[in-house]
A and B are shown apart, each in its own frame.
Chain A
């Protein structure tokens, strides 16, 4: 076969055959070195410990963790919830609540999420979200900084978003709010 291709050094086919082969050899030689020097998510054949790229990203990346985890865990534990959030909320992202959080509905209300947080005792009702994480060390830090989920013993399926003063937001089961607050927020 090669005899048919390499008939003359001035044959462009011969020249290109050699150059193509050279490029392939370079690719093969460099491949392991590129792999060695690449971060896991830029490495071509890096194998993660488990399936589901969302969980992988939450465990490996701060940016993915803060952008995805607060919503993905809501969808994982309480899909199809109704979420009540302040109009123009500055902490929680409504698009992510609808998508990763799989919320069935978002209702916008004018209320102060910090004041409401301070008059509601949610601490005994907070979920231990660490159980959902694979890499507890990193994820724990982010969860402590960004979000929490608090429910009563019989969750209503409606969550109200509250903020603490440190900039963490919480999905709070509407059953944990007093009757007047629920009425003010228009929750049945």
Chain B
């Protein structure tokens, strides 16, 4: 019962957040669990950064109570008084609560959760967080396991357990529902038949749920899937904003900001993933300048605050600050300074060049590292080949097919609007290999327990969404052409081509 109350609170809180920021009751449903969990992380992050006491129940109560109270207290607009509005909201909530009840009951009856030795390091930090003893978390755990997942796990201390059994499966369902929402909202303005939309949406979901590692990650007690959800939402919300989709900008920007602490405090590479997820968006002149500034400022503030917290922990222990602490903090300062200038014309004019330059810089850094220590790269490449192509990583050969589709789209699809979905995926590849040089473990290794093999899930849902969105694009190079142009109505063409005012 305790677990059901906790996850229901998260669902209601995330749903309230969506409705408060402008989503319809049904649309808010798709984001409800992930947003609720991220509100908990957001509240916790504020407590940690301000040095205030941390307590799992308090954090949960604030994160759940605040949006719901604000929703209840907001002035009624005429549309809220329509007879169908209340009924739709009620049905949505009931469906959500009943689904959660089934999920919690099932997962508490069928022990499917999976672990790695790292899982218990997250547990340790989660327990200490719930007991307001975060000062005792050792630097290694703080730097490598960070806080998002421990905070999420700590909610189980409310009812006397060590982890929330339905947490990761609920996140997994959340990733699927958010992917479906994004695809549907993006494709709504594209000139594509309804049959094709249904077909691609179904294939996109099937591609994820049929993948062995996706299913495994749906039960694996680790932060990877949560990070994947954050990257997906930050990039997906950016795309919807860029394309002027029928989703309120107030929600899109709010959800991007909401996911920042969860991502940046989720993994050591979280700030880089967040940077990759927002860079194409903040450089896009077709997005309102205020939205771009707000998102960049959000990224900068969270990156700075988290790394200052880390710096404080290092100084408290009398340790010197490593590059992994002051490097991101310096980047955050640069990002703050860039906020007023991010919308200036010369910068946005060279958006494509900047993105290419950023990716090239990562590959050059990898090349330099490889020249310095070629053995690490050779071993990592060999292990990754074994894991992905030969099958040692349990991904199955479909990842090879996926890579082929990815290259096909990169080569033949000319649609530049896809950059916001594509960039975080392609920029992450050199970054993942660079991490082999920065971590203590050295080169990646063969087997499904390898770090890189497990990290790939962080970009997998976004990669699949990218391919699904590319599939409905009309902008292709020869020999691939989109037939049946007559079917495209003139008004649709104009809506898709002119819907991006500067």
Contacts and interface: CB of A to CB of B under 8 A. Distances in A.
Chains A and B form a bound pair: yes
Nearest to A35: B212
Interface stretch (B108-116, B334-342, B343-351): B108-116
A156 interface: no
Contact of A98 (B136, B402, B483): B136
A4 B137 CA distance: 58
Interface in B368-415: 391, 394, 396-398, 401-402, 404-405, 408-409, 412-413
Interface string B444-476: 000011000000000000000001001111001
B468 to A, nearest CB: 8
A38 B393 CA distance: 9
A26 B405 contact: no
Given A12-B471, A20-B405, A47 B413 contact: no
B198 A42 contact: no
A47 B110 contact: yes
A19 to B, nearest CB: 5
B136 A15 contact: no
Given A12-B476, A30-B398, A45-B215, A4 B114 contact: no
Given A13-B196, A20-B203, A31-B396, A68 B402 contact: no
A120 interface: no
Interface centre among A41, A54, A56, A100, by most chain B C-beta atoms within 10 angstroms, is A41
A119 interface: no
A38 B210 contact: no
B127 interface: yes
A143 B401 CA distance: 48
Interface in B91-134: 108, 110-117, 119-120, 123-125, 127-128, 131, 133
Interface stretch (A59-67, A160-168, A170-178): A59-67
Interface in A12-50: 12-13, 15-17, 19-24, 26-28, 30-31, 34-35, 37-39, 41-50
Interface centre among A2, A26, A52, A56, by most chain B C-beta atoms within 10 angstroms, is A26
Nearest to A4: B195
A139 interface: no
A99 B128 contact: yes
Nearest to A51: B111
B207 interface: yes
Contacts of A152: none
B251 interface: no
A23 B405 contact: yes
A99 B470 CA distance: 47
A57 interface: yes
A95 interface: yes
Interface of B: 108, 110-117, 119-120, 123-125, 127-128, 131, 133, 136-138, 141, 162-163, 165, 192-193, 195-196, 198-200, 203-204, 206-207, 210-213, 215-216, 218-219, 221, 391, 394, 396-398, 401-402, 404-405, 408-409, 412-413, 448-449, 467, 470-473, 476, 479-484
Shortest beta-carbon contacts, A-B, top 4: A27-B210, A44-B215, A99-B127, A44-B216
Given A26-B398, A95-B138, 18 more contacts: A5-B195, A5-B199, A12-B476, A12-B480, A15-B408, A16-B409, A17-B471, A20-B200, A24-B210, A34-B396, A39-B448, A43-B114, A43-B216, A44-B212, A53-B111, A98-B136, A100-B120, A100-B124
